[in-house]
């Protein structure tokens, strides 16, 4: 669901000087109160410039003499003015306002914020209900226009890479990109040479500011990767299977050889969770505060990190689990199995929500994009497939890779990275919601060792790759969301802000049992219980109170209330009702005919013998 763009707390709101421009509704106490300050309305960001500097892909910066990579600003087709007052209004100065009325809003953007599903046809409703519905629709319209207007605050645009005419972007090496971008962005490309402690797994924090990595041979470290300031570095003296930040960068979960350990950002062990043993993969669901762990014993365990309780331990009944990913859209966990299936899990259900047969061999890697519409899988049959997760679960595209992808990752804007051996391939789609087209790789990069972990950094055009030779941070223009939500995940937040955010996030924690395939199911009525209750009510009462009682003609005076006339009147009403029914059925019939038509191409005389 689209959230409304907001700016961070670090941006102080501009003082609104224009006061009383819009008349406030009069309140009954206002005669005795003094004028209060008007509500702080978010103003345009002041520090826009700094933000701009963070992007390596700014169009102005990416210009290079060697190769022209021209980035074009995607033109949002502006809709012609929505409303315009018919006559030009004159101000005090006598100058004419060339842009009268409120600023126009592009329809597409408004559409993005509309949530009422109008595709479903409603049953005929009474006026009272209709007025309610109209009110709801009007409200939605108003809200979405407001939200669309605030899109103005999203000043940043995603970067991209474009070759010269006919040039393949995949041929552009990292060195070229680094050369082209500004110094700050160039600093984001680096290699950590850590050959000693084996292949590395890595994880970025939700704000994208911090990086944690753990080597197979026990090396665990966390650092602020932008400033390269090391937070902690320890050796746990045990094999490290996976590593993951919890809700903030202050807590770190490490899946070690036997048990799950939790460290703080100083490297101090806070907890050793022995109920989660032999963990192979970790996944953190930020809105539910759940740490999902997949174990060698075949159990998928959900640990609530806010209260420290195990919410659910589900037996997947599919042997060793070592492929896991989460769907950021609905917090469903995807598990890949050796029999070629991917199963979707929720802590509320003991059985998988869905099972999808994806490959003929075992599944090697699974990734789900941020909108929750596409899932990429790679299997032992060397195929890379992209599935549609919106109900059909059918493959949209498939490609055979020379040696199958062992690791997959989606970026915030839908770029797909696949690690095959010691090579990383990245594919890009047309837009944010479109699946990556597997025709041509967008970027390719060869690493020093075999890929062991892949993750795109949130809000930075960076792909982190953990491999047997250490860590590589690649520049991938256009990978990340350029605008961050300052209240939600602010890379520049201070400690205080983080603490405040933590409290708010805990207050807004979503219960674990609400995880299901369709997160909007909560806005639906529980039809089964509704019907059940209705039925019980009918049984209790013995009749249906909602049904209209049969028409009983009123007795009339002056001899007009003869039996014959009563019957006649009754008959009239009955006929009227019958006509209504017929009319309704006639209205429905053409739809049926339309449905029936395409069935048979041309009616034949012999059709009557067909059974």
Partner 1 sequence: MSSSRAAESLLALNQQEELEDLPREYPLSTSEDEGDSDGERKHQKLLEAISSLDGKNRRKLAERSEASLKVSEFSVSSEGSGEKLVLSDLLEPVKTSSSLAAVKKQLNRVKSKKTVELPLHREEIERARTPLEQEIFNLLHKNKQPVTDPLLTPMEKASLKAMSLEEVKMRRAELQRARALQSYYEARARREKKIKSKKYHKLLKKGKAKQALKEFEKLRKVNPAAALEELEKLEKARMMERMSLKHQNSGKWAKSKAVMAKYDLEARQAMQEQLARNKELMQKIQVASESAEEEGGAEEEGEPFVPDVVNEVQVKADRPNPWMFRNHSGDTKEAEVQGDPEELAEPAAQEAPESEEEGPVVAEEILLKEFEERRSLRQKSGLNQIAKPVGSQEAKDLSSQEVLSELRALSQKLNRESHQSRKQELSSTRTVLAVQREEPAGEEEEPLLLQRPERARTLDELEELGKEGCFQNKELPRVAVEGQQLERNPSNHLGVPKEKKRKEQMIDLQNLLTTKSPSMKSLAVPTTVEELEDEERDQRQMIKEAFAGDDVIRDFLKEKREAVEASKPKDVDLTLPGWGEWGGVGLKPSAKKRRRFLVKAPEGPPRKDKNLPNVILNEKRNIHAVAHQVRMLPYPFTHHQQFERTIQTPIGSTWNTQRSFQKLTMPKVVTKPGHIIKPIKAEDVGYRSSSRSDLSVVQRNPKRLSIRHKKQLKKISVD
Q: Which of 394, 430, 544, 584 binds partner 1 (CB under 8 A)?
A: 394
In the complex, least distance from residue 15 CB atom to partner 1, rounded to whole angstroms: 16
3 binds partner 1 (CB under 8 A): yes
Q: Which of residues 281-310 bind partner 1 (CB under 8 A)?
A: none
596 binds partner 1 (CB under 8 A): no
DSSP secondary structure string, 264-301?
A: ETTS-EEEEEEEEESEEEEEEETTTTEEEEEETTSEEE
- Contact segment (CB under 8 A) with partner 1 among 293-301, 360-368, 495-503, 560-568 equals 360-368
Q: Which of 56, 208, 352, 469 binds partner 1 (CB under 8 A)?
A: 352
- Phi (first) and psi of residue 471, to 5 degrees: -125, 140
Q: Which of 207, 377, 383, 412 binds partner 1 (CB under 8 A)?
A: 383
Q: Which of residues 311-340 bind partner 1 (CB under 8 A)?
A: 339-340
Closer residue to partner 1, CB minimum distance, 128 or 558: 128
In the complex, least distance from residue 352 CB atom to partner 1, rounded to whole angstroms: 6
Q: Would you state the torsion angle of the CA atoms of residues 426, 429, 430, 432, taken in this order, to the nearest 10 degrees?
A: -100
Contact assessment for residue 237 and residue 270, using Cβ atoms and an 8 Å cutoff: no
Q: Which of residues 405-424 bind partner 1 (CB under 8 A)?
A: 420-423
Q: Which residues of 532-542 are buried (b: 16+ CB within 10 A; e: fewer)?
A: eeeeeeeeeee
Q: Which of 77, 402, 545, 590 binds partner 1 (CB under 8 A)?
A: 402
42 binds partner 1 (CB under 8 A): yes
Q: Is 33 exposed, middle or buried (0-12, 13-18, 19+ CB in 10 A)?
A: exposed
Contact assessment for residue 298 and residue 317, using Cβ atoms and an 8 Å cutoff: yes
Closer residue to partner 1, CB minimum distance, 208 or 340: 340
Contact assessment for residue 8 and residue 487, using Cβ atoms and an 8 Å cutoff: yes
361 binds partner 1 (CB under 8 A): yes
In the complex, least distance from residue 126 CB atom to partner 1, rounded to whole angstroms: 7
346 binds partner 1 (CB under 8 A): yes
Give the Cα separation of 257 and 418 in Å (integer).
26
399 binds partner 1 (CB under 8 A): yes
Closer residue to partner 1, CB minimum distance, 564 or 599: 599
Cα–Cα–Cα angle for 7, 9, 11, rounded to 5 degrees: 70
- Phi (first) and psi of residue 312, to 5 degrees: -155, 145
Adjacency order of strands within the sheet including 210-215: 200-204, 210-215, 219-224, 229-235
- Contact segment (CB under 8 A) with partner 1 among 74-82, 343-351, 556-564, 571-579 equals 343-351
- Phi (first) and psi of residue 593, to 5 degrees: -65, -40
Closer residue to partner 1, CB minimum distance, 298 or 553: 298
Q: Which of 310, 353, 396, 566 binds partner 1 (CB under 8 A)?
A: 353
Query: Could you tell me which residues are beta bridge partners of residue 363?
Result: 379
Q: Which of residues 486-505 bind partner 1 (CB under 8 A)?
A: 488
Residue 240 DSSP SS3: strand
Number of residues forming the site for partner 1 (CB under 8 A): 99
Q: Which of 79, 81, 84, 171 binds partner 1 (CB under 8 A)?
A: 171
Contact assessment for residue 484 and residue 505, using Cβ atoms and an 8 Å cutoff: no
In the complex, least distance from residue 446 CB atom to partner 1, rounded to whole angstroms: 5
Q: Which of residues 449-488 bind partner 1 (CB under 8 A)?
A: 450, 488
Closer residue to partner 1, CB minimum distance, 223 or 344: 344
Q: Which of 381, 388, 500, 502 binds partner 1 (CB under 8 A)?
A: 381
Q: Which of 34, 83, 92, 117 binds partner 1 (CB under 8 A)?
A: 117
In the complex, least distance from residue 176 CB atom to partner 1, rounded to whole angstroms: 14
Q: Which of 92, 122, 541, 610 binds partner 1 (CB under 8 A)?
A: 122
> Which string of x and - marks every residue 48-67 that binds partner 1 (by CB under 8 A)?
--------------------
175 binds partner 1 (CB under 8 A): no
Closer residue to partner 1, CB minimum distance, 153 or 566: 153
> Which string of x and - marks every residue 123-162 that binds partner 1 (by CB under 8 A)?
x-xx-xx--xx--xx-xx-xx--xx-xx------------
Closer residue to partner 1, CB minimum distance, 16 or 575: 16
Question: CA dist 147 to 46, 117, 140, 143, 290, Å?
Answer: 20, 18, 10, 6, 30
Q: Which of 170, 186, 187, 234 binds partner 1 (CB under 8 A)?
A: 170
Residue 535 DSSP SS3: helix
Give the Cα separation of 69 and 181 in Å (integer).
11
Q: Which of residues 238-267 bind partner 1 (CB under 8 A)?
A: none
E strand map for 389-484:
395-400, 407-410, 416-420, 423-427, 443-446, 451-456, 462-467, 470-475
Question: CA dist 526 to 374, 511, 531, 586, Å?
Answer: 28, 18, 9, 32
């Amino acid at each position: 669901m689209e959230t409304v763009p907001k700016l961070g707390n670090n941006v102080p709101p501009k003082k609104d000087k224009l006061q009383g421009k819009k008349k406030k509704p009069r309140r009954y106490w206002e005669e005795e109160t003094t004028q209060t300050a008007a509500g702080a309305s978010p103003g345009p960001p002041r520090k826009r410039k700094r933000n701009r500097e963070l992007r390596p892909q700014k169009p102005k910066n990416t210009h290079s003499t060697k190769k022209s990579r021209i980035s074009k600003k995607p033109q949002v087709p502006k809709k012609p003015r929505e409303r315009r007052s018919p006559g030009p209004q004159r101000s005090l100065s006598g100058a004419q306002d060339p842009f009268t009325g409120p600023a126009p809003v592009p329809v597409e953007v408004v559409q993005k914020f509309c949530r009422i599903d109008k595709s479903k046809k409603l049953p005929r409703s009474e006026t009272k209900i209709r007025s309610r519905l109209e009110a709801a629709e009007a409200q939605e319209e108003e809200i979405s226009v407001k939200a669309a207007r605030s899109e103005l605050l999203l000043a940043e645009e995603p970067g991209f890479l474009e070759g010269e005419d006919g040039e393949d972007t995949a041929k552009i090496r990292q060195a070229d990109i680094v050369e082209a971008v500004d110094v700050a962005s160039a600093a984001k490309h680096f290699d950590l040479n850590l050959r000693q402690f084996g292949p590395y797994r890595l994880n970025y924090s939700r704000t994208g500011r911090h990086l944690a990595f753990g080597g197979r041979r026990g090396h665990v470290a966390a650092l602020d990767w932008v400033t390269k300031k090391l937070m902690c570095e320890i050796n746990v003296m045990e094999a490290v299977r996976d590593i993951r930040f919890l809700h903030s960068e202050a807590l770190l979960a490490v899946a070690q050889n036997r048990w799950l350990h939790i460290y703080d950002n100083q490297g101090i062990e806070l907890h050793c969770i022995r109920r989660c043993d032999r963990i192979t993969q970790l996944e953190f669901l930020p809105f539910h505060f759940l740490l999902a762990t997949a174990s060698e014993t075949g159990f998928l365990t959900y640990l609530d990190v806010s209260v420290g309780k195990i919410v659910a331990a589900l037996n997947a009944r599919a042997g060793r689990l070592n492929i896991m990913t989460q769907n950021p859209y609905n917090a469903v966990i995807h598990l890949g199995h050796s029999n070629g299936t991917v199963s979707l899990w929720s802590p509320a259900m003991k059985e998988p929500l869905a099972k999808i047969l994806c490959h003929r061999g075992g599944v090697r890697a699974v990734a789900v994009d941020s909108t929750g519409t596409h899932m990429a899988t790679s299997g032992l049959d060397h195929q890379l497939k992209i599935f549609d997760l919106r109900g059909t679960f059918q493959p949209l595209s498939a490609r055979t890779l020379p040696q199958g992808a062992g690791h997959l990752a989606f970026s915030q804007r839908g770029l797909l990275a696949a690690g095959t051996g010691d090579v990383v391939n990245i594919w890009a789609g047309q837009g944010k919601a479109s699946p990556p087209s597997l025709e041509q790789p967008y970027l390719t990069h060869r690493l020093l060792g075999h890929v062991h972990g892949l993750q795109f950094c949130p809000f930075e055009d960076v792909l982190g790759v953990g491999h047997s030779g250490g860590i590589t941070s690649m520049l991938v223009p256009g990978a990340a969301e350029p605008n961050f939500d300052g209240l939600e995940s602010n890379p520049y937040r201070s400690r205080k802000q983080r603490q405040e955010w933590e409290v708010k996030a805990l207050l807004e924690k979503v219960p674990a049992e609400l995880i299901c395939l369709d997160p909007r199911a909560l806005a639906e009525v529980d039809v089964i219980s509704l019907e059940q209750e209705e039925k019980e009510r009918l049984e209790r009462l013995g009749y249906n109170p909602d049904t209209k009682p049969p028409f009983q003609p009123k007795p009339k005076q002056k001899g007009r209330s003869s039996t014959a006339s009563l019957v006649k009147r009754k008959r009239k009403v009955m006929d009227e009702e019958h006509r209504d029914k017929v009319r309704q059925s006639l209205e429905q019939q053409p739809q049926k005919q339309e449905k029936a038509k395409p069935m048979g191409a041309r009616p034949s005389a012999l059709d009557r013998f067909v059974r």
